[in-house]
Structure 1
Amino acid sequence: MLDRFVNEGMKGKSEATVKTYQHAIQQFAEWLDGAGATLEDFSRSDVQQYINYMASKKKTAATINKVFNAIRKFCKWAKKMECVEDINVVKAPDYKQTAPKALDKLERNQLIRNVDRSGNKRDYAIIMTLMYTGLRVSELVALDKSDIDISERKGSLKVRAGKGNKERTLPLESEARRAISKYLEERTDDHEALFLSNRDKRISVRSVQYLFEQHNLNAHQLRHTFITGLARAKHDPAIIQSLSGHSSADMVLRYSRATEEDKQRAVENLYID
């Protein structure tokens, strides 16, 4: 039934969304098996108890809501909407009212310097691409060499596997162009992927995440940093939305909100000339 849901109920969704929902429903199915039920015959009380179970395991509100959204999507497909009526779900924070954590200038420079000094041209190209395009990691790993167009004075990058399957073209900044070009110069393979793993296969999302973990960072922070930089520079929200691939202008506005660090810094520097 899970396979049918993926094939029938997830048409038109991005690969990343399909994987997220598939994993969530698979976990729910395994929990149901332990409770003596299946995806075919579970009830509303099973859903509520599963939500309570996740809360008892200290899962975050964001995770619980993501899982519930997957279950609700499954129930809509399976015509079991009565199973998700009036479910008590932990309220997730309103992300539109909070500013994501972006890297400050010192952190940005330190990351660039450390990766450059490592001598790994692929890792450096990944860092610079994310830093100057704000791509989601899933979009980065899906890039092919044919998606890159670089000349002496300019360059662009085409995102074909964007969220919601939306395609967009982004300009490439000079440092990002140089980093990508230097990496491709040392490639001798015929693989279509822009970034390869150490096993000469298309690099995975997990491998990119691991790269950032080596620097005590989250890969998504470079996307936050890119969009926050645009917002703080007072660029038109329509331009930021187009560059970031956000479907809603409201999602862009949150990047211009003050963080706790911003407020702390403002107070500490209040009377410093």
Structure 2
Amino acid sequence: MLNTYQEDGLRGKSKQTRKTYLFSISKFKDWLDGAGTDLEGYSRSDVQQYIDYLVSKSYSASTINKHWSAVKHFSRWQNKVDAIEDISVITPPNILNEAPKALTRNEVNKIIRELDRSGNERNFAIAQTLINTGIRLNELVNLDRTDFHISERKGTLKVRFGKGNKERQLPLSPETRRAITKYLETRNDSIDAMFLSNRSKRISERTVQHIFEKYGINVHSLRHTFITKLVRNGEDFSLVQSLSGHATADMVMRYSAPSEEDKEEAVSRMWLSD
């Protein structure tokens, strides 16, 4: 059933969406097994009880919503529309009113310094790429050498596996071009993948996450930092949207929302001008 769904039901979906939906449906299948049914025989009551189960396990609203989206898609693919009618689902918070966590200038400088001092050209090149292009983690690991075009004075990066399968082209800063060039000088192979693991395979998302976890950094915060910096610098939202690969300007607007640090600094400055 899952194999057929993967080949037929998820045709045209992005790699990340397929991965997310298959994971969610496999979890739904496990729960159904314990409830005495399967992916063909479940009913509306099963779906409602499954959602209630997720709530009882204290999963976040966004996580529950992801599982619910997958179950809806799977049910529609199976023509089991009755099974998803009038399901009561917890409402996730409005992410447009939340500012993503961005790193401070000092935090960015610190991670750059420490990775540079480590002498690992690959990790340093990864950091410069993430910080100065704002690409997503899954976009980074799917990069090939041919996606980079670097000359003496300029460079570009083509993101082929963007969200929604949309391509975009990004300029490369001088520091990023230098880091990429230095890394490629350490390579004596003909492998297409841009960033390799220690086993000479395409690097995994988990490996990249581990690189930054050692320094107390969540790799996703590098993308947030890039976009937040553009927004705070007053760049046009359409430009930020184009660089970040966000589908709508509304998604960019959340980066202009004040963070908790912004609020604290505003209060502390209240009486400084008197």
TM over 0.5: yes
Name 1:9's counterpart in structure 2: 9
Query: Normalized against structure 2, the TM-score is what?
Result: 0.97
Shift of 1:272: 4.1
Structure 1 position 216 matched with structure 2 position 216: yes
Do structure 1's residue 253 and structure 2's residue 253 form an aligned pair? yes
Q: Distance in 1 between matches of 2:18 and 2:226?
A: 26
Q: Deviation per CA, 1:157-198: give whole Å up to 9, x if none.
A: 000011110011000011111111111111111110000001
**Counterpart residue identity of residue 257, structure 2:** R
Alignment of 1:206 with 2:206, yes or no, is yes
Which residue in 2 is equivalent to 1:33? 33
Amino acid at match of 2:117: R
- Name the SS of the counterpart of 2:156 in structure 1: strand
Q: Which amino acid aligns with 1:132?
A: N
Task: Write the distance in 2 (CA, Å) between the matches of 1:115 and 1:61.
Answer: 36
> How much has 1:270 moved relative to structure 2?
3.3
CA distance in 2, matches of 1:109, 1:267: 27
Paired residue secondary structure (1:228): helix
Counterparts of 1:86 and 1:108, CA distance in 2: 47
Identical-pair percentage: 55
Give me the whole-angstrom Cα distance separating, in 1, the residues matched to 2:118 and 2:48: 50
Residue equivalent to 2:65:
65
Runs of 4+ that moved beyond 4 A: none
After TM superposition, give the deviation of residue 271 of structure 1 in Å.
3.8
Correspondences of 1:105-116 after superposition (within 5 Å) = 105-116=105-116
Aligned in 2, Cα 1:112/1:271: closer, same or farther, shift over 3 Å? Answer: farther
Give me the whole-angstrom Cα distance separating, in 2, the residues matched to 1:12 and 1:270: 53
CA distance in structure 1 between the partners assigned to 2:83 and 2:119 by the alignment: 55
For 2:59 and 2:25, the matched residues in 1 are separated by: 16
Aligned counterparts of 1:56 and 1:113: Cα–Cα separation in 2: 44
1:238 & 1:133 partners in 2: Cα distance? 16
Give the equivalent residue in structure 2 for 1:146: 146
CA distance in 2: counterparts of 1:85 and 1:110, whole angstroms: 51
Q: Say which SS state the counterpart of residue 156 (structure 1) adopts.
A: strand
**Distance in structure 1 (CA, Å) of the matches to 2:89 and 2:215:** 35
Deviation at 1:10, TM superposition (A): 1.1
Shift of 1:226: 0.5
Paired with 2:267 and 2:114, the residues of 1 have a C-alpha distance of 31
Give, in whole Å, the separation in 2 of the partners of 1:31 and 1:72. 16
SS at match of 1:229: helix
Deviation at 1:82, TM superposition (A): 1.4
Aligned-CA RMSD value:
1.0
88-97 or 164-173, which moves further after superposition? 88-97
Shift of 1:6: 1.3
Aligned residues: 273
Aligned to 1:234: 234
Q: What amino acid is the match of 1:149?
A: H
1:179 corresponds to 2:179: yes
CA-CA distance at 1:28 after TM superposition: 0.6
Q: What is the alpha-carbon distance in structure 2 between the residues aligned to residue 75 and residue 129 of structure 1?
A: 40
Give the AA of the match of 2:64. Answer: I
Q: 1:31 to 1:223 in 2, by over 3 A?
A: same
**Segment drifting more, 256-265 vs 130-139:** 256-265
Counterpart CA distance in 2 for 1:14 and 1:154 is 31
